[in-house]
Every structure is written in structure tokens, then in C-alpha cells.
A and B are shown apart, each in its own frame.
Chain A
Amino acid sequence: MLNPFPLLLRLCLSMWLLADGSAAGKIDFQRDVRPILSDRCFKCHGPDVDKRKAGLRLDVREDSLKPAKSGEHAVVPGKPDASELIARIFSADEKEIMPPPEMKKPLSGEQKVILKRWIAEGAEYQPHWAYVKPVTPCSPPVKQTAWVRNPIDAFVLAKLEASGMRPAAPATLQALARRAALDLTGLPPPPEALAAFIRNPTDNGYEAFVDSLLASPHYGERWARRWLDLARYADTNGYEKDRQRSVWPYRNWVVKALNADMPFDQFTIDQLAGDMLPAATPDQIIATGFHRNTMLNEEGGIDPLEFRFNAMVDRVGTTATTWLGLTMQCCQCHTHKYDPILHTEFYGMMAFLNNADEPDYDLPDAAEAAQYQSRLKQAEALFAKLPEQFPGGKVEAGKAFTAWLADKQKLAVTWTSLKPLEAKSNMPLLTVQPDNSILGSGDITKTDTFDLTYKMAQKHVTAIRLEALPDDSLPSHGPGMCYYEGPKGDFFLGEFKVIVNGKPVKFTAASESYSKNNFGNNPVTALLAVDGNPETGWSCAARYGERHEAVFVPAEPLTGGEVKVQMLMGRHFAATLGHFRISVTSESKAVKAQDLDDSLARLLTLPADQLVSADRDKLFHAFLLKEPKLEKATAEIRKLREPPAAATTLVMRERPASHPRPTFRHHRGEFAQPKEAVEPVTLSVLHPFAKNLPKNRLGFAEWLVSPDNPLTPRVVMNRQWAALFGTGIVKTVQDFGYQGELPSHPELLDWLASEFIKQKWSMKAMHKLMVMSSTYRQSSEGKTPERDAGNRLLSHFPRTRLDAEIIRDAMLSASGLLTEKLGGPSVFPPQPDGVMEVAYGKFSWKTSTGPDRYRRSLYTFMKRTAPFALFTTFDGPTGEACLAARETANSPMQALAGLNDVVVTEAAQALGRVLAASSVSDEQRVTLLFQRALSRDPDAGEREMLLPFVKTQRARLAAGKLDAVKIGGAPGTTMDAAAWTLAARSVFNLDEFLTKG
């Protein structure tokens, strides 16, 4: 984009001097004109060429000066009377006037005058500030220099002074400490750290206090919550079924990365493309869970590719919101109506992200692996004793084995696997493996068809065997590829057709080693896979990660030649077989499927005298394990031998180069309307995609955190600012485009963005800078001046209601209940009965017991369709969409929760017990209560209100009007504890407790 301003910027004469209103008089395009044009004109005269009317484009100066289709010039610089735009906006004719009345967005008189003056003054354009790379601005000069602790203050103070205002007095030490602790750790200040700060109330003392908060492991927990809002983290899949998922290791990763102050550029790259880094570590793979937090619809009968597409749309939108502060979701359906972003660029960005498979990742767990080894040893020891446990002892066992062996040998069949010459499918990629098996990967549909071609040398084939094989690349290790609605690893083979030399084979018999239907009790046998009805077939539910086989017997033996196999798979959900092999036999005896490992089956075909003793041992082993008489002993061995159920997490895995997933532009954004294929491209309005970067997810992630990116550092810094100061420097934290609000302190934002990169993307460094500033240390008390009712100029510290999670955590912390354990799977703290009533399928909320009741709120199980009630009441996220800023409503429902919710009740009870147990005066107890809940001492007036309250309640308890045990929630609760419980409950409901002031 052409930019005539960098020079000016470098001279610190930035355009913002105009934007702040101080140079009133001359019309400023950025401040005065573009918002009008964008909101009222660009919809039809903007970037979207499809919707453009009259051949007129107003978002680019050269275009606006060209004649429109009519031949008229919309804009003639310096000559409003010759400009058709002016004629049209002032027209009284309903057919002429712009914007047209049906738009229902008329221009105000003032807006018309602005446009007229703008043209009169030359109709100059300016590049949109956010699309131009920030240049480090100089600190502006200020009068009250002593107030300036770091450049943040200079920028803030300059604005205040220019508006004739002054900053507020510093906050009290206690208020500042509480504010900083809540901001940096999401918890009230630890009493010792607070005491140390009060003892040393200097800049150094405050810095030490801040450093201790930044070093606290709770720092990562607090900021992880904010990040997880953007990542739309939840513990369930969303939509109707809303089943549980395991992605908490990703949450652990976020906490860990933030605590380690991982530079934000690396933090970005790991999450978007960690799997693609050279020698990716398990942590880097886990980090890719960021974009696996999209919802998964498991409702019966859905089209999985449609909801995969929806997830991709969400990924593009979330990426744009999180890193670019752009409302890209508009471009799913059409070119952006306001910002210069094309419809095709939306899909171009999708193409970068769209080339990954989405597996579950087994977490490496060294401790668990070691335990498994010891379990195997135990099993071995138990196994050695098995023969003795056989009724009649070793000798009888030997005899029984000989009989078993003879029996099995009679049934044994020599199978020869066929080598696939060709393996095609409608959708998944089929790869032929060295052992002649075929492995599927990629996307699957509800009706997948495999077309396989073999050459059969055998001249007399009496049976065909289909082995369904496990593989680590498949969901739950296979054999199926099912990943939603049905159990992971499930398959459903509806039809198995064989054509030899052009003739369909008729099967008269079929058998299977195992079969089970996951839905209902109807049979799912191999025979049903050759009955001509695709709705019935063979399935092997429950035993995933195991090998199964089906044997099909033709009416007539097959002669050799070309064999075509067609497999039709799926049911009301996609249930494709993921790994399988086809073998044939020429045995003349009746052939049946065997539930025996292939290597053992092979041994059984050997003549008895060729069995070496090791082979015999293996067979003896198998015999013992299958022997019903040893069931009790073998069950224990089987259990010990079960491989550990690894904790899994959702990750990305880039597809092989041989199997890229194409991305298409979707007309009107509809899944069912794919148009031309789209190559990965980044937004032309932003910095170019460097030539040395690979055109894939990894390259894209690096492009995002390029120092040339004008948006990412600003967007990220603005969000941090909003988290601390309640409102962003750009108020619309999710929109930095034309429709977004202009920054209140543009130079400050640019300085923060530049400093962020200078500080090597260190989040802790930036947080420290912000909280060390005088701006942050101001008192929140005082009058809001009329001229700045929104306190955007920060003449005092803005009070903000605390986040839902922080409210709960602060109560737990104040009452001493908080369990400070870091990380791990989600927990189920108590909440009122009936919250899950609305959830489909009656989800059972198994309330945690013990310390897990009182973990930090970050670890509370997030059920998307029925979120934790207290959090919803206080504007917590649902995890359904990327959330850049939370609301801070103030409602009667919050009051009800505050008074009556079980969390508040339990915290008040615990604090009540603590207060009652301390052997001090009631006055001192009030002090203790205030210190624990509000981190300050009460004043006389407050004491005078609390003490009579406690006295009254005590009297009623003593008179038997109130029941101490009921109020205290525990047998043996003293009247004192009950009375102080009620006092604590009231303090937890104070505005001051619920607010960061």
C-alpha cells in the first residue's frame, strides 16, 4: 500500500496529532471521514467488486476520482460543487439521495458537512493506521514530569494535560497490591508478600512485590484463562451430544508456557504449527491443540465434512481475531464490505491451515511406562504359575494342550495375502504397506467406497479372508477410522463385493472372529456384509486396537486372474475401515474365521514335528490364556498386560506431501457450494509473505509474528492493556479494521507494540511495564470528569468487575479453601443441582470430593452446552467461539448467586470457622475478615456496621432461632462460627470484593 507518511512518523509528527482533536479545524480523513464512508458507503462502493454499484469505489482515492459508470465524477478534489457525491448526499429526491433510503442509514447533517469540507479541502486519503507498521514514537513532552515513571505515563499524561486534566492521586498501598495481585495472578495478594510491601512502601518495594507475582505459578493460570477464551477451550465437543474430550494437556501447556514467559512469537508458532517444527517435541505437538478446540458435531446423521468445514471457518476467524484483530469471518461469504479483504483471501488463509489431519496424541508418560513394565513382570510371574493351577496340575495341562493343539491344527489354514495392484477410494488416501495390508488416512464420509485390484495367481481359491488390523495412526488404534458419533476406531462394513475376471462372486458362507454392534443388539456379521444390503454388515465394536478377521466362502472355488474388491462402509456416521489385508486359501476343508493372532495361526499350519520348542511354548501360552478352566487367573494376567490407557490430547498433524487436502472458495460461504481451488495466500493489505517462508501452516505462523506485521503486536498489546485497564486503547479489541474504533492513545499503542518486539516478545516484561507505571498506580476513587465520562483518558484507575473465575478463586483463597495444585485434568466443583437438566443425554456432573472441590476455576470442567452455572452468571465463556473481551454485566442473577450459591456458602463457612477459631476480640475479627477478603483494614464506620450484625445473629443463634449446624454446614459448628459465616458471606457480596478497584 502506498504510504506517504512514514517520514512524518519518523519525525514524530505522526498523523495522530490530527486524530486527537487538538488540531481542530482541518478535516482529518482517518478520524472524520473514513468512519462515515465505511459505515454508509463502502457496502456498495467499497472493496467488494461483486456488490459494487455504479462502478464507483470510494475506499481507494484513485478510484474515487475516476468517473463512475454514469460518467459523473463522485469526487473532484477541491470542488464539492462539481462532486456528484455531494450532490447525491444533499439531494432531496428519494431516487437520487445517497445512501438510499432502504438502507435505513441516513447521513446526519453534520456528516454531510464533513464530507463536503473534506472534498473542499482536497479530498485527501490516509492509509488506515492499523495497516501501517508502527514506528516507535518519541515520548511526548509533559509538564508534570515527576509523575512519569516510564514512557506509558508520558503518553497518558500528555493527553490528560492537553485536555486540561490531571491524574488521580496514587492508590493506597493495599488497593494497589490487591489490584496488581488480581491482575497478575488472578488471586488476592499473598499476606506475606503484602506485608513485605507495606513494610517497604517504596518503588523498590513495589517492584519486588510485582516481581514475586510475576514469578508466581499462578501468573500462568491467570493469563491462561484469558488465552483460553480466545482458543475457545472446552472439555466437551459441543452441539447436541456434547461429549467429553481430552484436551486438558493443551491447557497445561498454555499455563507452562506463560509461566516460562515463552516469547509470544514462539508461543504463536508452537500453537499453530508446532507439529511441523524440526524434531518437534511432545510439548510442541501438544501446543497445536489451539485449533483443535473447534467444536465437533456428533449428532447422528450429520455430514462430517460439513462440520469440518465449519471448524475450518472458525479457525480462520479465530486466527484473524486473535492475531490480526480483523473481522475476517465476514469474508466467508463475500469480499469484506468495509475492509480491503477479499472473499478469496479468506479461503487463501484457510488453505494454509487446511492441510492437517486431526489425530489424538498419546501423551508420553515415562512413569506410566515404567509401571507398565513392572506390571508385565508381574504378569510373567503369574503366568509361570498357570500350568500348576490347571485342575490336575502340570501333567493334565500338558495333556489338555496336546488335545487342543490337535484340534486347532485340524482347523488351521494356510493363508496367502494378495498384493494390491491398485487401491482407490472416493475420499480417504489408501496406502499399500509392505505386508500387503492397506492403510487409510485423511478424511472419511458416511459412505466410503474402496475399489481394490489384485492379481490372484492361485488357481483354486476356496475362501477369502479380510483382516481388520489395528494401527497406531488410527483413532483408538483402529481398525476403524470413526472419530465422531460412534466410538473411536469403529468401522461398519456394509458390503464386501468380489469380482473375479469380471464376474461377481456369490458367497454362500461367511464367519468372523468377533462381531459387536455399537448401536442396538441387531447382529453385525460377516454374512451381512455379503447380503446385498449396505445397511447391514460387519462391525467390531468395543474391542478397538485389536485384530479381527472375516472369512468369506464362495459358492464355487475361484480360479485365478484379476480380482476386484469393492468395500462399502459407513452408517449414519462415517465408519470406514482404516487398516486391512486380504488373503486367500486353497484349503479343501471347511474354513472358518479364527480369533488367533496371525503368527500363531501360521504355526498351527506347520506339521507337528516342525514345531520348535519356542513355537510350542507360544502355542501353549495361547492355550493357557484361552482355557476356560483358568479364567480367573488369566483374567488377572490379561488385565496386567493391558497397555496403559495413555492420556490423549487433540493435535494437528500435517498431511504427507503425497496427499494434500485441496481448499476451495465456497460461494456465499456455503459448504455445499465449493468453487475453484484456492492456493494459500495472505492478506494483500498487510505485509508481504516472505519468499523464504514455506507456503504452509508453519510459514503462515511465521508470517503472523513477523516484525513487519503491523497488526499482531498492536492487537496483542491492546488486549493486555484491556485486561489491566478494563478497556482497550482500541476499544474494539476484536476489530482494528475500518469499522473499529480509533485508538484513544495511538502513540502509546504503537510504543507498546514496538517495545514488545524490542523486549523479544516477552509478555512478562510488558505486563511489568504496565503495572509499574504511574498510570496503573492511580487511585480508582474520584469523580469522572464530564468531558471524559468513559475515563478513556485515564484520569483515574478504571474500576472493573472481576472475571467469574477470579471471583470464585478469590473467595476460595480468602477462606483458605483453595487447592493450589497446578495443572492436570479438569475437575467438577460443586454447583447447584439442575444445571445439567438442559444438557442432552442427561450429562452427569460427578461432583469432585476432597481437594478437587477447591481447585482454581481454570480447571473446572467446561461443558459447552451447559456451562458451569456461576461462571455463566458472571459472563464466563461457553467455549463455543473465540472471545476477545468479556462482558462485565451487573445483574440480579449475579446477586442471587452471590447470596446463595454453594461456592459462596462453602467459602463463607470455611472463613467463618477460621474467624471464630482465632482467639481475638470481635473488633480484631472484623479486621481479619477485611484483610482476608479485601486485603485492607476496615475503617471505624465499617466496623460499626459489622459488629451489630454479628451481635444480632449471635443472639438469634443463642435463642435457638437459628441453627448453627445448618448455617455452618458441618456438625459441631459453634454459634460463633455460624455468626462469622454470615458476616463473611456478606463481605463476599460487597461491591468492593467483586470489583478490581
Chain B
Amino acid sequence: MFAPTYFSRRHFLKDCGVGLGKIGLAGLLADSFAAEPGNVLGARASHFAPKAKRVIHLFMAGAPSQLEMFDYKPALTKYEGKPIPPEVIGGQRYAFIRPDAAALGPRFQFSKHGQCGAELGETLPHLAGIVDDITIIKSVHTEQFNHAPAQIFFQTGFAVPGRPSIGSWALYGLGAESQNLPAFVVMSTGSGLSGGSALFSSGFLPSVYNGVRFRNTGDPILDVSSPPGIDARVQRESLDLIGGLNRKRLGAVGDPEIATRIAAYEMAFRLQTSAPELTDLSSESKATLDMYGCDPDKPSFARSCLLARRMMERGVRYVNIFHEGWDAHSNVEGNVRTNCKATDQASAALVMDLKQRGLLDDTLVVWGGEFGRTPMVESNSALGRALGRDHHPQAFTVWMAGGGIRKGFTMGETDEMGFNIVEDPVSIFDLQATILHLLGFDHERLTFRTQGRDFRLTDVHGEVIKKILA
């Protein structure tokens, strides 16, 4: 009843449990780099030896104020209350403020830290402790000045939903290391995401490259728990029944997709064990929990960071943690204080923890938002806003650490007002090109054929930021 000859020629599908369907396969096979056709989630070689095998991207959604945290501009205090000269502002459109809004000085003290002497605002005491391990880029700029388009642009290189996210590209390029956990995981804390599921969508890439949401409440992964009343034995016996009937069908029909499905069900069964094991923090020491500032039973950014480390240990390829809440249209001082309290300790702890476990060398950590905030104040009595900052695409700060990144380095300068970049501008495409580079890819050659042409994450742009490479 079971005739393996029908599908053995394509037995590679059997092991990974992931099939593509017709469209995806076509695009993949047309790709120019040497992927083993069909083995879409198996680990595979990149264009050149990668510096980073895994990525954790701490996405500070809502856009943190670089002027309070990284880009110290005492001149703003001097000009406080006066409008910024129109020739500086140019034709920039703003979301809420008028271009003639007055300058607003930094709300916090800054001081220098570490051997590198990186300058940070006072709300980042924990980051101050690891500045010698990271690169701070103060000269990032973007093309979008509204949240959803800017976030989607950061993740996919395009401001309108529909393109693959960078995590999907990474997975498409590298495949998965783990067969027991999703390879691209997405967590979020704070309120919902402006960019929605487009931020971790596989776009036109096969949907197996979609980011998989790890939830804060209920099942960490959708449907990872068996329905009520169904214990492990029923689940196992059901799988055996399904597998048996499917194998019988495979014998009769000979469609290799059936073999893939059989394997997919086995992986699903393993996921049902590995996901709860991953999220069970009882094996973490108190010292570790304290380092992150993590309450193991409460959803938080800190808990997500700790989970991310555990994922790195278990071979997850790409993790996005979205922390939403930085949109300081009013009271930027309070906003920065609150959000730093929620994120500073755990972000620094993640880097330290990866380092002490020897994982930092080949894990890339990226921290940053979708754009910056204006040197000008936002105040609006009809909206009840005061002492805030509006969206600022011209200049903002991102930091990176780990696999292949220079240590104790600060790059880029903005002008006296922090309005425009005057040295080493870095575009979002440059960041994307650099992340792919660290993962072992020439961003110009990591392409996918659809709609009649080869698409890539960076479109026709992007230069690897050589200065920040170790």
C-alpha cells in the first residue's frame, strides 16, 4: 500500500515538512544564488561567510527622541522659544506642527561613558554600561514621516504593505537552524503596532517565511495547545492515524506534497512541546531575571528580551521585538523617562547576557525606531499637547551590537540644531544592506523573481556601512 518510489526522487521535502506550492517554488528556483531547490527551510549557505547567524531587532515603535537620549544639542536650549530658520527646514512637511514652531532644548542631562566616551542622556544608565560593546549611529534618515509607512519601510524597504520583511528575506536566504521552533519570531509589548502584520509579512515570498507571532497571553503561538480534553496521547494517536491514512494516500497518488504534509504534522507536534518549554522561564536563575528586570509571569519588554535570548540558544534565526509607545507628541520628557524605564535595562542586559554566553559574536542586535523627533516643540491647546516633539525623518539614532559590529564606536553627526545630518548619512536601505551583509549576503544578489522582475529588499539602493563593521 505504501509505494515510496513515487516520491523518493524528491525526498528532500520529507525531512523539512515545508512545501511551497507552485508559485513560490517558481520564484525560488529562479533565484540566482545556489539554494537547494525545494528545501525551503533547511539551513543553507549564504553568499559569503556570515558574521552574524541570528538577529534580534528591538524595534522602538513610535520613534524615540534621539535629542533626549543620544544626540546632545545644547544649542537647542540656547534657541529655545525661537523658530528654526526656514532655510534649515526646507520644504519638509510635518505631521502635527507648523514649520515655524520653536526650538525645544534637551530635557535631560548628558554625560560621557565608557572608554569610547559615548555621550548618552541620563535616562539610559544601563546602556551606559555597555557602550564599549556597541556602535551608535546618530545619522540615520528615512523617507517617511508617518508611523505606519515608516515602520513598514524600515522592515520591507517599501512604504506600502506587500513586500517581504527583512526577517523573511533572512530566512529565505539562510533557512532555519531549528526544526522545532519557528525561525522568524515576532513579539510585541505596549499598545498595538501601527504597521500591523505587514511588518513581519513574507510579502511575495512564500508564506512559510512569514514572521510567527509569539503572544504575551494565552498560547505563545496560535493553536499550539491542543483543544480542551485532548491529552498528549490522543494527540499522538491522532497524528499516527492521520499519518497512516496520509501515507496510504501517498502510496496511491504519489504526490510529494503529501510527504511534506506528513512531515509538517510531525513538526507541529514537536512545536507543541518546544514552544511551552521555551516560554517556561523557571530554569532561569534569579541573577538572570534580575539582570533583565524580568518578572517571569508578566508580559513585558524585559520578558521578551529574555525569551529572545532563549530563542537564540535554540536556533531561532530572526527575532523582532516591537516596543510601542515612543510617540511623544506631548511631554517628551515623561515619555522618554517611562519608555527608558521599560526598555533600557533589558536591552543592555540582552547584550550582556548574549556576551556572557558566547552568543554575541554571531548574534546581531539592532535597536531603533522608525524615525526621529523634531528639534522643534509640539504644543497644541486644541489637542491638549505641550512640550512634545513631532516626527522627524531627517535624523535619528540607531545602535547595533554583536556579530560583525564595531565595538565602542559612534558614527555620524547632525548640525547644531540636530535638524539635518552633516556627516556620514545612513539611509534605511544602508541599514538593511548592512544587516544582510552581516548575515552573509550581497544585498544586490539576494533577489526573488515576481511580477516580471527580480526584487530585492533594498530595491536599487543601499550601501553597506563599512565604518561600523568590526
Contacts and interface: CB of A to CB of B under 8 A. Distances in A.
Contacts of B237: 949, 952-953
Given A839-B196, A982-B238, A522 B20 contact: no
A971 interface: no
25 contacts: A240-B146, A297-B146, A302-B146, A330-B453, A535-B381, A727-B22, A737-B452, A782-B253, A834-B217, A840-B191, A842-B191, A869-B223, A875-B21, A878-B197, A886-B23, A890-B19, A892-B267, A896-B268, A949-B241, A953-B237, A963-B229, A978-B229, A986-B238, A989-B238, A989-B265
B219 interface: yes
Nearest to B444: A104
Interface string B16-47: 01111111101000001000000000000000
Contact of B196 (A242, A303, A869): A242
B18 A878 contact: no
A966 interface: yes
Interface residues of B, number: 99
Contact of B21 (A866, A888, A965): A888
Contact of A901 (B223, B250, B445): B223
A260 B24 CA distance: 35
Contact of B148 (A239, A735, A985): A239
Interface string B207-250: 11010110111110111111111110111011101101110111
A945 B218 contact: no
B111 interface: no
Interface in A840-879: 840-843, 864-867, 869, 872-873, 875, 878
Contacts of A301: 94-96, 145-146, 390-391
Nearest to B193: A838
Interface string B384-400: 10000011000000000
A728 to B, nearest CB: 10
A240 B195 contact: yes
A337 B451 CA distance: 13
A799 interface: yes
Contacts of A535: 380-382
A300 B368 CA distance: 22
A141 to B, nearest CB: 31
A587 B458 CA distance: 69
A887 interface: yes
Q: Chain A CB within 10 Å — which of B191, B195, B197 has the most?
A: B197
B208 A889 contact: yes
B254 interface: yes
Interface residues of A, number: 125
B1 interface: yes
Contacts of A968: 229
B261 interface: yes
B244 A899 contact: no
B189 to A, nearest CB: 10
Contact of A840 (B22, B161, B194, B267): B194
Contact of A838 (B192, B218, B261): B192
Interface stretch (A472-480, A513-521, A692-700): A513-521
Interface string B147-164: 111000000000011100
Contact of B212 (A104, A893, A987): A893
A507 B128 CA distance: 56
A732 interface: yes
A892 B381 contact: no
B312 interface: no
B257 interface: yes
Given A522-B381, A737-B452, A885-B23, A834 B222 contact: yes
Contacts of B254: 781-784
**Which interface residue of B18, B193, B268 has the most chain A CB atoms within 10 A?**
B268
Nearest to B18: A891
A896 B224 contact: yes
B375 to A, nearest CB: 17
Nearest to B41: A891
A734 interface: yes
Interface string A717-745: 00000000011000110110111100000
In this complex, the member of B149, B227, B253 whose beta carbon has the largest number of chain A beta carbons within 10 angstroms is B227
B190 to A, nearest CB: 11
A474 B20 CA distance: 48
A838 B223 contact: no
B197 A866 contact: yes
B206 interface: yes
A520 B382 CA distance: 7
B135 interface: no
Contact of A891 (B195, B216, B225, B264): B264
A602 B237 CA distance: 83
A521 B382 CA distance: 8
B253 A780 contact: yes
A572 B96 contact: yes
B95 A834 contact: no
B224 A941 contact: no
Contacts of B290: none
B95 to A, nearest CB: 2
B284 to A, nearest CB: 23
B21 A889 contact: yes
A711 B161 CA distance: 28
A880 B451 contact: no
Interface string A809-853: 000000000000000000000001111111111110000000000
Given A949-B241, A990-B242, A519 B383 contact: yes
Nearest to B6: A783
Which of A492, A672, A840, A953 has most B Cβ within 10 Å?
A840
B35 to A, nearest CB: 16
Contact of B198 (A727, A865, A885): A865
Contact of B222 (A492, A878, A896): A896
A528 B267 CA distance: 65
A787 B221 CA distance: 42
Contact of A522 (B21, B162, B383): B383
Contacts of A949: 237-238, 241
Nearest to A298: B148
B260 interface: yes
A238 interface: yes
Nearest to B233: A956
Given A780-B253, A783-B254, A872-B210, 6 more contacts: A536-B382, A799-B255, A865-B193, A889-B20, A949-B237, A968-B229
A995 B22 CA distance: 14
A731 B26 contact: yes
B401 interface: no
A992 interface: yes
B195 A104 contact: no
Contact of A571 (B193, B217, B382): B382
B351 interface: no
A873 B222 CA distance: 10
Most buried by B among A242, A835, A894, A896: A896
B252 interface: yes
Interface string A960-973: 01111111110000
B341 interface: no
A94 B221 CA distance: 52
A987 B238 CA distance: 9
A327 interface: yes
A997 interface: yes
Given A832-B222, A941-B1, A962 B231 contact: yes
10 closest A-B pairs by beta carbon, nearest first, are A301-B95, A865-B196, A966-B229, A739-B452, A890-B19, A888-B21, A895-B268, A967-B229, A240-B194, A840-B192
Contacts of B233: 956
B201 interface: yes
B188 interface: yes
B93 interface: yes
Contacts of B24: 887, 889
Nearest to B23: A887
A329 interface: yes
Contact of B451 (A297, A735, A843): A735
Contact of A990 (B213, B215, B246): B246
